[in-house]
Structure 1
Amino acid sequence: PLPGSAYELKDYRRAKVQKMGYVYFSPDKSYYSVPYRYIGKETTIHYTGSVVEIYYHQKRIALHRRHTEKGSYNTNREHLSSTHKYYSDWSPEFFKRKAARHGDHVLSCVEAILAKGDYPEIGYKRAMGVIQLHKAYGAERLDNACKRALQADAATYMRIRNILKNNLDKSSLFYRDLEEDKSHIPDHGNIRGASAYQ
C-alpha cells in the first residue's frame, strides 16, 4: 500500500546540549529537551516540517513534534532532572543571591520569573538571562528597567531587555517631575497662571 502521508524532506543541524537539558534549534529559534545524561554532548538534529529528532552517535535520543513558535520550549517531562549533578549549584536561592547584588527590583523580577516557570530549568535560564543583562547595561540601569517591568506587571526577560535596548529605563525630566509630584514647567516671572485669564 502507498504511505498514508506525503513524503517530507529532511534537513539537518548540529547542536550541543545546553546545561539546562535542551538543544537550540536555530531554524525556529526554539528549544527541544533531551535526556539529561546527554548534557554537554554534541548532537545532530534531523527535522522535517512536522517532526524534530535528536541523534547522538546515530542513535535517536529524542523525538518531538515541531513547533515553529519563536522562543518556545518543547519539553518531554521524562528528560528533565533537577536533581542531576549539573544542577547542583543551580537553585532558586542561587539566583536570588546573584540578583540581589544588582538591586531590589532585579531580585523581585527574578523571584517572579522563578515562580512562573513550568519547569525549574526553564525558569533558571530566564533568570540567568535577566541577571546577565548587567554586563551590557550596568546594575543601576538593570534595576531601573526591572522597576518599570514590575510596574507594568511584565517581569519577563524579553520585556526587561526591550526596556534597556530602547532606553525606557532612563526617566525623562517630565516623568521624573511627575513622580515627585512637581510641575514639569519651570518657575519663571513671564509665565502666567490660570488667574491671568479670568
Structure 2
Amino acid sequence: MEGSFRFLGRLWRIFDEYVEDIRGAAPAAGPLELTDDVKALRRKTHQTIRKVSQDIEDRFHFNTAISAVMELVNVLYSVKHPTKDNRTALSVVREALETAILLLTPIVPHITEELWERLGKDKPAADMPWPDFDPAVASEEEMTIVIQINGKLRSRMTVPVDCDAEKIKADAQADEKIAAFIGKNKILKVIYVPKKLVNIVVAP
C-alpha cells in the first residue's frame, strides 16, 4: 500500500508540473521531430499501452500493469521540461500523461477522474475508449547485445535492431574490452544468439 501511495503521489506531482503547459497542446500524431529523451518518452508511452493491454485484457495481471505505468512515469521524470513554445514536445508529454491516467482508471478511478477533469475534459475518463498503441512508435530502434568470451560476460554493446548478424559479430570482436581479453589467443568460433548475445570461443 505504501508503495502504491508513493507512486500515485509521483504521478500527481508530475501532472501538477505540466498541467498548465499541456492543456493547449495538440495530441501527438504521426512522425515527429523529437529530441532523444522526448522520443524515448513517446516510445515508452506506446510500449506501456501495449503491455498494459496484454496484462489486463488477456491475462488479468493488474500488478504488472501498474508496474508498467510506474515505468512510464519514471521516464516522464527523466525528460527535461520542454519550453512552453515547444508544442510538439509538450504534445508528447500530454500523450504520456493522458495515457497513464486512462490506463489507471480501471484501478484507481477516484484519482484519475480528478486529474482527467483538471485537463479540461468534458467526458469522464471511464467513458473514454481504451488507448491504442502504434506498433511503429512502440518498436525499439536499438538493442543491447551481451558479449561473452567462452561463456563469460565481458562487455556489452548497443546496435540498431535491424543490424546484420555478421556486422554484430564483427563489432563484438572489435570491441575494445573484448580485443584486450582475446589478445593473441586464437578465435575458434563466434556464436550469435539473435537480439541477445555474442559468444566468442577462443583457444586456451
TM-score, with structure 2 as normaliser: 0.25
Q: Which structure's CA Rg is the greater one? A: 1
**Higher relative contact order structure (alpha carbons within 8 Å, sequence separation ≥ 6):** 2
Greater helix share, structure number? 2
